Amino acid sequence: MVVLLFICCGAFAQTAVKHLNNEYSIELLTAEDGFTSSEIYSIIQDNKGLLWFGTGENGILKYDGRKVVNYEYDDNQANGISHNDAGNLLLADNGDIWIGTWGGGASHLEIRTGLFNHFEHDEQRHNSISSNRIQSLFDDKGTIWMGSYAHGLNKYLGDNTFKRYLYTQHNPATISHNRVWDIEENNSNSLWVATSYGLNLFDKETEKFINFLPEPQNTTPTGANEIRNLLKTDAGLLYVGTQVGLFQFDVKSEHFLPITTAEQKPLGQVNSIIEDQEGSIWIVSSKGLFRLGQNQQLHQLQLPHNNGLRIVFEDRSGIIWVTSEVHGIYKITPQRKFKNIRSDLLLAPNGITVDEQGDLLIVSASSVLYKWSVKSQRLLQLTEQIFTKAQGFSENRLLERPVLHLADKNTLWVAQDDGLASVDLQSNTVSLLRYPKSEPLHKEFRELRALNSDQYGNIWVGTYKSGIYIYDVSKKTFSHLGHTAGLTHPEVLEIYKDRENNIWVGTGDGVSLWREGSQSFTQFKQNSTHSGSLVGKIVQDIHQSRDGKIWVATQKGLNLFDEHSQTFSHFGRQDGLPTSLIRAIEDDDMGNLWLTTNKGISMLNLKSNYLVNYDGYDGLLGINYYANSLIKGANNILFTNSQRGIEYFSAEILDDNNRQFNIVLTGFSKMGQEVSLDKPFAYVDEIALSYLDYFISFEFSVLDFSSPSKNQYAYKLQGYDENWIEIGNRNVAAFTNLDGGYYTLLVKATDSHGKWLDKQLSIRLYVAPPPWQTWWAYCLYALFALIIISAIIVYRTRSQENEIMRQKQFVQALEEQVAEKTSSLNAQAQDLLIANKQLELLTFQDGLTGLYNRRYFDQHLFEELKRHSREQQDLSLILCDIDHFKLYNDHYGHLAGDNCLKQVAQCLRQCVGRITDSCCRYGGEEFAIILPNTNEEQSNYLAEQLRLAVEAMKVPHEKSATSAFITMTLGVVTLTPTDNTSVDSVILSADKALYIGKAEGRNRTSRANAITLN
């Protein structure tokens, strides 16, 4: 049955196109990230969370966030994909994957076993699949439907048998065209089928089709009649993507309602449609990527390249994936949690604070006061320019950030450069306040940086270079506080009044606390010799949290003040913060402490020891902020201020981050070679090993795709070590020489914000013992031991009397010899002791130079490698060689050469001063110095001092091509040894460095990286 319809045009079709780029961050993945093909025509996410990509030329790709695994056709492998043109993927309800290929029929991947089953067209079987070109796949509650390129619709009946539904001419109850683009459920009894000639409604009981045409006047499979995509939303709406645009199909009226731009232009050829988790519709067309909101507003997301887009897909974490045939894969991460106040009126730098209702008060760089309502999210101008050129204020103030202070619910104080004013928030009237020119300090009253009021209502004004000015509101007079009052520095950056009315002043050199009783400041400054002093000199912000604690932000870290001890505890990189430069501090209604830094925003919860860092990957519009510009408004909204403008976010939304991600095994190696297991890595839960597998490694990944480089990992092997080993962003754990027995490998990971996930990877390991350690081997050992013991007992019993007689004879002879030998042995023992001491000294000393010899060097280097491996400390080795020494011997004679070696040895001994360092003669004119606990910088410095000292001796060397005097070339290597580091590898590394120095002209110090010998 063919129903002729007319396209209904109305207000629905006229939706304005707006851009979405501020709501998402965009990252392009290409071949450099492992994606061997950009011709990707489908994306699915399996039940573990792995992403699968169907390509048009390279089989299928599996992505775990860190690497891509490619499944390609291999005619030598029976269990594999049937064709490399595998652009159609379907995640079945049971978790398996179906693949529709373009020439190899269909394949079924049993996800838990990794086995493929293939279904190909057989001309001899009428119940085989109708075509080897599969265009579409659909799972109807366990029944798999397949649409072909030119041979209709297939229903899989099981056991490699299919039922076909083909177009029959002059039979309106058949499918309208044999090319099936897409399949979608209508209800339990019917399916929607998209073909090249219209939309079909298929009744599964009667097996009849009803055809609907967007362009009934067009009798060809072109234009809007070519239905390429279908989407049925959660609300029951049916969207139809065609060759010329997008439509909504009204099932009741049977009308196709076009979705167009504000200019009533169609979206072009629609290649893909999805509904995201928030109910918005995403469309990929020939004109780009669009989002249709629930309010029917059409928005466009401008990608770096809008051409060649094919597929749009949303994973479970809300990330949008869009493929481009030309450029790769776009990963589009929502950043709607962070927003900015958009207005051309707000010229940066702006100053911000909040009023009594929690709405934001803003003074722009042009000194105009605005109010932004948290509830209505609307900007209202309250005043004209507060400081103008006509009033005598310089235009240079436009470069200065305004400073705001709400003295009471109706009075706002504003300072900018040398301007100071109060604003009545009821009448919005402005009163300018000028510092008297008759005062001697009036020229210093400029570059105003801080404002606050004390308990008496006096206004404290902090300047950049001239300390603090206090304005007495009642007397209308100014007073000044500077170094004579104990202010730590004239550069005042912050003035803060705590809930006990104490005034805290942050300066360019620490914090000053005003003591009202003594009318002076108590100073808190950085002191490197006192662990409880303030860390950092330049104060960025001071804040009192809800629990009454005083926090101080500096350019060197976050400081928490202990009132009882008058000391500070510190927070920095060692506690997980991304940087030590803290710009501002604020706390929310849940007790979390929020920080802005030069690397984003951080949330710190001290009660749960929980820290989260947010940066550009999380949707921040930038990562650097102004000092003391973080403030909490109504509804737990936090506002930030920067050169980009004013941004805001909800602390409650950001704190609600409980999404969990699976951690899966992605690789397993034995003896350095990756091996396959009996099932896909992601589904492996136990592994059996031979005793010969003495080196194994595991690769794993947490399936959080938002920012894989920020995920942190830790592992432990139960049965071997019960402690978690944190390995940062590395995702490999390796073990050597495990004893036979049972173990459990546990792996945990953080999400991209640094929060440890509840889910863990758990893999049971069984290591078979060697044959000589099995139970039957121990039984044989016991039996053999029993036989031996019995034989010994019998033998000893029979020979007991003979043994007693021999012992008596021996004792008698021994007594006679003892008396004779005793006196001589005493003398020999004394001589032997003296000789051994002399021999031990000669054994480890070079006879010519007096330095340690090669034997001592080899033994001591081996001992130091083991010690430094245990302690994980740096160890350095210097190999040095006298330049052109053979020519020196040939010219001056061997006696002179020996004297030269002695002089050089004495020079080395004098330069190497630590008792733990060892100077050795390595051989001939070569020397070696072992430097324990010495890093690269220290070893480079010492080597250069040795070289200069030898050259400074000025021992003549007429035959040297390098210098007129004796010189030395030195090779240096520094490493942190491991259990696998050998003496030979360290010597070889230093020798390589020495070779480099010789090759570069001698008389120099060269360095090489440590070499690992297998």
The label of the residue with tokens 């039957």 reads: 776
DSSP bridge pairs for 939 = none
- In angstroms, the CA 892 to CA 888 distance is 6
And the tokens for 807?
Answer: 């012992």
Of the candidates 350, 356, 395, the one whose C-alpha atom is nearest the C-alpha of residue 369 is: 350
Q: Using alpha carbons only, what angle is made at residue 972 by residues 969 and 978, rounded to the nearest 5 degrees?
A: 155
Q: Which residues contact 319 (CB under 8 A, 6 or more apart)?
A: 331, 332, 333, 334, 705, 706
Catalytic residue among 275, 444, 491, 925: 925
The label of the residue with tokens 């669009």 reads: 290
Taking a C-beta distance cutoff of 8 angstroms, is the pair 707, 64 a contact? no
3-state class of 826 per DSSP? helix
3-state class of 934 per DSSP? coil
Strand order in the sheet with 190-195: 2-4, 208-213, 198-203, 190-195, 180-187
- In angstroms, the CA 738 to CA 723 distance is 17
Taking a C-beta distance cutoff of 8 angstroms, is the pair 356, 337 a contact? no
925 is catalytic: yes
- In angstroms, the CA 706 to CA 335 distance is 11
Of the candidates 76, 12, 114, 101, the one whose C-alpha atom is nearest the C-alpha of residue 665 is: 114
Q: At what angle do helices 936-952 and 894-911 cross, to 10 degrees?
A: 140
294 phi-psi bin (left φ>0, alpha ψ -120 to 50, beta other): alpha
And the tokens for 443?
Answer: 């020229």
- In angstroms, the CA 765 to CA 675 distance is 15
- In angstroms, the CA 379 to CA 930 distance is 70
Q: Measuring CA to CA, how many Å separate 985 from each of 852, 862, 991?
A: 21, 11, 10
Taking a C-beta distance cutoff of 8 angstroms, is the pair 406, 412 a contact? yes
- In angstroms, the CA 769 to CA 784 distance is 21
At 171, the amino acid letter reads: N
- In angstroms, the CA 752 to CA 312 distance is 23
- In angstroms, the CA 324 to CA 746 distance is 38
708 phi-psi bin (left φ>0, alpha ψ -120 to 50, beta other): alpha
- In angstroms, the CA 480 to CA 466 distance is 9
Q: Measuring CA to CA, how many Å separate 405 from each of 402, 423, 585, 958?
A: 10, 10, 17, 80
- In angstroms, the CA 602 to CA 788 distance is 73
Question: What are φ and ψ of residue 496, in 5° steps?
Answer: -130, 135
Is the peptide bond preceding residue 769 cis, with omega within 30 degrees of 0? no
Query: What's the first-to-final CA gap in the chain, in angstroms?
Result: 75
DSSP H helices, 617-682, are: 651-655
381-390 LR contacts (CB < 8 Å, sep 24+): 381/345, 382/423, 382/425, 382/428, 383/423, 383/428, 383/430, 386/414, 386/416, 386/419, 386/421, 386/423, 386/430, 386/432, 387/416, 387/417, 387/419, 387/421, 387/432
Distance of CA 732 to the CA centre of its chain: 15
And the tokens for 894?
Answer: 């061997």
Q: Measuring CA to CA, how many Å separate 587 from each of 309, 551, 596, 616, 771?
A: 44, 11, 12, 22, 64
DSSP bridge pairs for 97 = 91, 109
CA dihedral 283, 286, 287, 293 (to 10 degrees): -10
List, by residue number, the catalytic residues: 925
